[in-house]
Amino acid sequence: MSSRLRENRKTAEIRAKLSETQLQVTDFIYPLFIEEGTNIKKEIVSMPDIYRYSLDRINEELEEVVELGIKSVILFGIPLHKDAEGSESWNDEGIIQQAIRQIKRDYPNLQVIADVCFCEYTNHGHCGVLCNNDVDNDLTLVNLRKQVLAQAKAGVDMVAPSGMMDFAVREIRDELDKNGFQHIPVMGYSVKYCSSYYGPFRDAADSAPSFGDRRTYQMDPANRNEAIKEAQADVDEGAAILMVKPALSYLDIIRDLKNNFDLPIAAYNVSGEYAMIKAAGKNGWIDEQKVMMETLLSIKRAGAAIIITYFAKEAARVLNDNKGS
């Protein structure tokens, strides 16, 4: 006789005991946008409840982050000065270097991760040095070394190169190691697709390209097998964590990486995914909280041990409330 599978769904208690996937607050990394200036708390129109903060006000956000039990943040900087190479990104007094020092001083137990890229810092919005209207891979690697060294000297706990430059992890790992920062891990944006889901982020970070797009260096959304090759390259070059970005439309890729590599898998629940849920919730078309939690659960079920998400605070409140009930 075949079993009645519904028997294991009859009560909330049984369902909870047999749940195969559980979200935890410690799964989340919360992105922070830090703008150079003073007295800034500016809501990002396309990302409700997400703000840009200046350093003198960032602790307003961090107090809540720590209180909710979120253990990690990833930093994105918006400088006052931009140039063709994004040189503010390796200025020892640049906005992210200042932010790292301040956060580690005020919240020493909070893991601080720095995004390593140039699109927020260049006057053209692309992710590196331009030659003939395209990003020159190897010239950009030279500047990546400068950027990660400045972040390491400021006290960062982890670096995360997001530009999809070939050999980026290798160059970063070498620069960290030869300067005595062997303890700083690299979380590669190993599989980053050229996605339309990034739109709101470009509002948040002032990072939209001034011409063209990023198809010559970010991955084609049609490609699956290429993701394994990109991830393998990061493994070979010394990455400690592999990331897939975006998350929701690439759950199959998250699972592919989980099945093929022993390293922890991270996924970035990106701005467009966040904005769509927020907009539909505001219009009453969905139950925003339930869809948020289902979305995050799907990302973890697919194989992500780490989820970078703008929902981190809201999801933490739900999980903490459920734990206390």
As annotated, the active-site residues are 192, 245
Helix/strand/coil for 191: strand
First to last CA, the chain: 39
**Per-position DSSP letters for 235-297, written without gaps between them:** HHHT-SEEEEESSGGGHHHHHHHHHH-SS-EEEEE-HHHHHHHHHHHHTTSS-HHHHHHHHHH
Q: Give the separation between CA 313 and CA 311, rounded to whole angstroms.
A: 6
Collect all residues with Cβ–Cβ distance below 8 Å to 4 and sequence separation of at least 6.
none
Torsion over CA: 134, 138, 139, 144 (sign): positive
Buried b or exposed e, range 62-74, using 16+ CB within 10 angstroms:
beebbebebbbbb
Torsion over CA: 215, 216, 222, 228 (sign): negative
Is the preceding omega at residue 246 within 30 degrees of 0, hence cis? yes
